[in-house]
Amino acid sequence: MSEDAHNTQQVWFVTGSSRGLGRALVTAALDAGDLVVATARRPEALRAELAEYGDRVLALPLDVTSPDQARAAVDAALARFGRIDVLVNNAGYANVSPVESADDEDFRAQFETNFWGVYHVTKAALPALRRQGSGTIVQFSSVGGRVGGSPGIASYQAAKFAVDGFTRSLAAETAPFGIRFTVVEPSGFATDWAGDSMTVHPVPEPYEQTVGAMNRRVRQGTSGAAGDPARAAEILVRTVRRGDAPSHLLLGANAVTMALDYSRRQLEEAGAWEKVSRSADFTEPYPVELPPPPSS
């Protein structure tokens, strides 16, 4: 299908629109001629910044951790534009702390936004998309939600893994309804994800070489993040408008490198342990030798 196959005006509903990739995506969709519902906890500044787009944009308050607010925002979007063609769950944040010393309430609060916020907004919009028989749901994850293993942000990465699993199940459930799903997996972008949006809790000395090193690399590096939010937003708008977005979209060179390396290691490990894994079934030969340990 060509890139120009879907040139009709689409209605976007974007969470976390006040800054970062969400803000860039709102602008990119509007500049492409589409209609946008831009949501944020405090949308007042958004209304002023987007005034030039007139009635093509609707800025609404939305705390994604509230199911009632999610339903109210979706209802307001439908009342204004009549439909939602693209739902983007972008709102999210990460704080830094080792699991051992993490504040339980902070760990849970991150999960409330990063996973349950996606759940609430998606669930609120599903009836309208199902009735339409069409629509695209874009879930912002992270390359860390695919490869994992970043010390200090366990709540964030656990939520992103959960978003992926949730989305895969939802795609299977809604397959007859014409709804498409894309999980976006960026690497580092020039946003304030690791700036004002992130709280770094005290890192105990035993975790300095893991969590401390991660914090210094992400927040105190001098080169800055490689990803351009404007480019990412334009890529996503073009991809969604084409009508055949992939189930998972990596954004950023580092994301591609990390994902490919992770997949290769997964395949190598699964192959090495294949006979052992198969032998757990009644019908398979048993016992079998464990694979030799990797050479040093």
Q: Closest by alpha carbon to 88, among 288, 240, 221?
A: 240
Catalytic residue among 119, 142, 160, 187: 160
- Catalytic, out of 17, 97, 141, 187: 141
Enumerate the β-bridge partners of residue 186.
Answer: 251
Give the domain CATH number at 86.
3.40.50.720
Q: Is residue 188 part of a domain?
A: yes
Query: In terms of C-beta density within 10 A (0-12 exposed, 13-18 middle, 19 or more buried), how is residue 265 classed?
Result: exposed
Q: Assess whether pLDDT exceeds 80 at residue 74.
A: yes
User: What is the arithmetic mean of pLDDT over 205-220?
Assistant: 83
Question: Would you state the structure tokens that stand for residue 116, as one six-digit string?
Answer: 């349950």
Task: Give the count of domains, the chain.
Answer: 1
Catalytic residue, from 17, 142, 155, 156: name it. Answer: 156
Give residues with Cβ within 8 angstroms of 261, minimum separation 6. 147
**Residue 91 within a domain:** yes
Q: Decide if 156 is catalytic.
A: yes
Looking at per-residue pLDDT, the higher value among 245 and 295 belongs to 245
Q: Which residue has the higher pLDDT, 96 or 62?
A: 62
Residue 240: other Cβ atoms inside 10 A: 25
Does some domain include residue 285?
Answer: no
214: domain range? Answer: 11-251
- The predicted pLDDT at position 59 comes to 97
Q: Using CA atoms, how far apart are residues 142 and 146, in angstroms rounded to an integer? A: 7
Q: Is the pLDDT of residue 227 over 50?
A: yes
Q: Which pLDDT tens digit goes with each residue over 170-196?
A: 999 999 999 999 999 999 887 665 566
Which of 38, 35, 10, 11 lies closest to 24 in space, CA to CA?
Answer: 38
For residues 249 and 140, the answer to whether their CB atoms sit within 8 Å is no
Give a yes or no: residue 177 inside a domain.
yes
160 is catalytic: yes
Does the pTM of the predicted model rise above 0.85?
Answer: yes
Residue 80 in contact with residue 7, Cβ under 8 Å?
no
User: What is residue 6's predicted lDDT score, i.e. its pLDDT?
Assistant: 47
Is 225 domain-assigned? yes
- The predicted pLDDT at position 105 comes to 96
Q: Structure tokens of 83?
A: 């439909």
Q: In angstroms, rounded to a whole number, what is the distance separating the alpha carbons of residues 183 and 185?
A: 6
Pair 213, 278: CB distance under 8 Å: no
So what's the pLDDT on residue 218?
Answer: 66
Determine, yes or no, domain membership for 2: no
Name the token pair of 189: 């972008």
pLDDT digits (tens, 9 = 90+) for 129-149: 999 999 999 999 999 999 998
Query: What per-residue confidence (pLDDT) applies to 4?
Result: 45
Neighbouring-strand partners of residue 11:
35
Query: Once rounded to an integer, what is the mean pLDDT over residues 88-113?
Result: 95
Distances (CA, A) of 147 to 160, 257, 263: 11, 11, 9
Whether the pLDDT of residue 1 is over 80: the answer is no
Please check whether residue 268 lies inside any domain of the structure. Answer: no
Task: Please report, for residues 110, 151, 190, 211, the alpha-carbon distance to residue 100 in angstroms, rounded to integers and kept in the order given.
Answer: 16, 12, 30, 11
Say what the pLDDT of residue 5 is: 41
DSSP 100: T
The secondary element (H helix, E strand) that includes residue 278 is helix 274-278
pLDDT 10s digits, 233-259: 999 999 999 989 999 999 999 999 999
First and final CA of the chain: distance in angstroms?
A: 49
| Collapsed DSSP state (helix, strand, coil) of residue 245 | coil
The beta-carbon contacts of 122-127 under 8 Å, at least 24 apart in sequence, are 122/87, 122/89, 122/170, 123/67, 123/70, 124/67, 124/70, 124/71, 124/73, 124/74, 125/13, 125/74, 125/84, 125/87, 126/174, 126/179
Judge whether residue 221 has pLDDT over 70. Answer: no
Query: Domain for residue 273, yes or no?
Result: no
